[in-house]
Amino acid sequence: MIEQIIEAVEFIRGRGVDRPEIGIVLGTGLGNLFVKQIENPVVIEYHDIPHFPVSTVEFHKGRLIAGVIQGKKVLAMQGRFHYYEGYSMQQITFPIRVMKLLGVKHLLLSNAAGNMNLDWKKGDLMLLDDHIHFQPDNPLRGINDETLGPRFPDMSQPYAKYLNTLLIDIAREKDIKLHVGVYISVMGPNLETRAEYRFLRRMGADAVGMSTVPEVIVANHMGLPCCAISVLTDDCDPDNLKPVNISDIIAIAGQSENKLTDLYIELIRQL
């Protein structure tokens, strides 16, 4: 794997991307507003980068965008990869390893998630304090390369406490409602049944989605501090469950994108 990572890193550097400081992963229905904040953008299509997967989800653009925000060099993924697309865990987390070797010091992630906490509402934001990995594979399975990270990485604090503290303070200053909770990552691509929502909630999760956790595992493996915010795009009340389609999820994510963008732009300024 290390040879493939280095090849991708060298290709991206050859396109003028020089030691970005902050990596960003923009989730479902998110990113259009955020990428407009990137100054002097360098856009690289995923399909041009050696060994990069290609996003097969129609609402994920599949572009790597480098540039400057608040005086900081950033590298943003406009669209991510998912296990349900048929890729391996190693493939969907490959870009995180590339970011780390390019020089990224902090990783900011986002996603769209179903809201299972009945005290919250769709359209709200949730800061991930912890997670439950409920997908059927692990990106660290197989022979471990010690140059990338330890065989048994600690996950007692998967999301950097100092980044979360900054985000909570920023949200308070900007009067943005930011819940703090637990995210559970499932395989998908189908949404959950009523019984499954009850089960996942009893496991201790506040929100459910199909991404992010594998990326966070790899970030921790490589010693890359990270944080993540979910946009809660649909209410998952098993006693009052209504059909939801992906266009509704995209619409809610788009309506909340300005709040997410405000939080991350200010966090980038403070880092």
Q: For 207-260, how does the pLDDT look when each residue is reduced to its tens digit (9 = 90+)?
A: 999 999 999 999 999 999 999 999 999 999 999 998 888 888 888 888 899 999
* Amino acid making up residue 96: I
Mean pLDDT computed over 174-201:
97
Confidence of residue 57 (pLDDT cuts 50, 70, 90): low
Within 8 A by CB and 6+ apart from 24, the residues are 34, 74, 75, 76, 77, 107, 108, 109, 110, 264
Under 8 Å CB-to-CB from 27, ≥6 apart: which residues? 80, 109, 110, 111, 112, 211, 212, 231, 253
Q: Using an 8 Å Cβ cutoff, are 226 and 109 in contact?
A: yes
**Which tens digit of pLDDT belongs to each residue from 118-145?**
999 999 999 999 999 999 999 999 999 9
Q: Residue 235: which region, alpha, beta or left (left: phi > 0; alpha: psi -120 to 50)?
A: beta
Six-digit token string for 88: 């391996």
Domain locations in the chain as residue ranges: 2-270
| Of the options 3.40.50.1010, 3.40.50.1240, 3.40.50.300, 3.40.50.1580, the CATH number for the domain spanning 2-270 | 3.40.50.1580
